[in-house]
Amino acid sequence: MLHYYREMLLIRRFEEKAGQLYGMGLIGGFCHLYIGQEAVVVGIQSALNEGDSVITSYRDHGHMLACGMDAKGVMAELTGRRGGYSHGKGGSMHMFSREKNFYGGHGIVGGQVPLGTGLAFAHKYLKDGGISAVYCGDGAINQGQVYESFNMAALWKLPVLFVIENNKYAMGTSQERASAGELHQRGASYGIPGYQVNGMDVLEVKAAADQWVNYIREGNGPVILEMKTYRYRGHSMSDPAKYRTKEEVEKMRSESDPIDQLKAKLLAGGHADEDKLKEIDREVKAIVIESAEFAQQSPEPDASELWTDVLL
| CATH number of the domain encompassing residue 219 | 3.40.50.970
Domain presence at residue 89: no
Q: Count structural domains, the chain.
A: 1
pLDDT of residue 276: 96
- Which residue, among 291, 247, 306, 310, has the nearest Cα to 61 in the 3D structure? 291
Q: Per residue in 152-164, is it b (16+ CB within 10 Å) or e — as a string?
A: bbbebebbbbbbb
pLDDT of residue 77: 97
Contact call for residues 63 and 285 (beta carbons, < 8 A): no
Domain presence at residue 41: yes
Domain presence at residue 204: yes
Domain presence at residue 88: no
Helix, strand, coil tally for the chain in percent (to 5): 50, 10, 45
pTM: 0.95
Give all strands (DSSP E) within 201-294, no chain letters: 223-228
State which residues form the domain around 204. 36-70+97-272
User: Mean pLDDT in each 10-residue stretch from start to end of the chain (312 residues)?
Assistant: 98 98 94 97 97 97 97 97 93 94 94 98 98 97 96 98 96 92 96 98 98 97 98 94 95 97 97 96 98 96 87 79
pLDDT of residue 312: 77
Task: Give the separation between CA 114 and CA 112, rounded to whole angstroms.
Answer: 6
Q: Name residues whose C-beta falls within 8 Å of residue 248's C-beta, 6 or more positions apart in sequence.
A: none
Q: Per residue in 51-60, is it b (16+ CB within 10 Å) or e — as a string?
A: ebbbbbbbbb
Cα 22 → chain centroid: 19
pLDDT of residue 216: 98
Domain presence at residue 40: yes
pLDDT of residue 78: 97
pLDDT of residue 306: 85
pLDDT of residue 300: 94
What is the residue-wise DSSP string for 3-27?
HHHHHHHHHHHHHHHHHHHHHTT-S
Domain presence at residue 285: no
pLDDT of residue 310: 83
Domain presence at residue 180: yes
Domain presence at residue 282: no
Using CA atoms, how far residue 229 sits from 17, 56, 205, in Å, is 22, 16, 11
Q: Name residues whose C-beta falls within 8 Å of residue 144's C-beta, 6 or more positions apart in sequence.
A: none
Q: Could you give the 3-state DSSP secondary structure of residue 152? A: helix
pLDDT of residue 46: 97
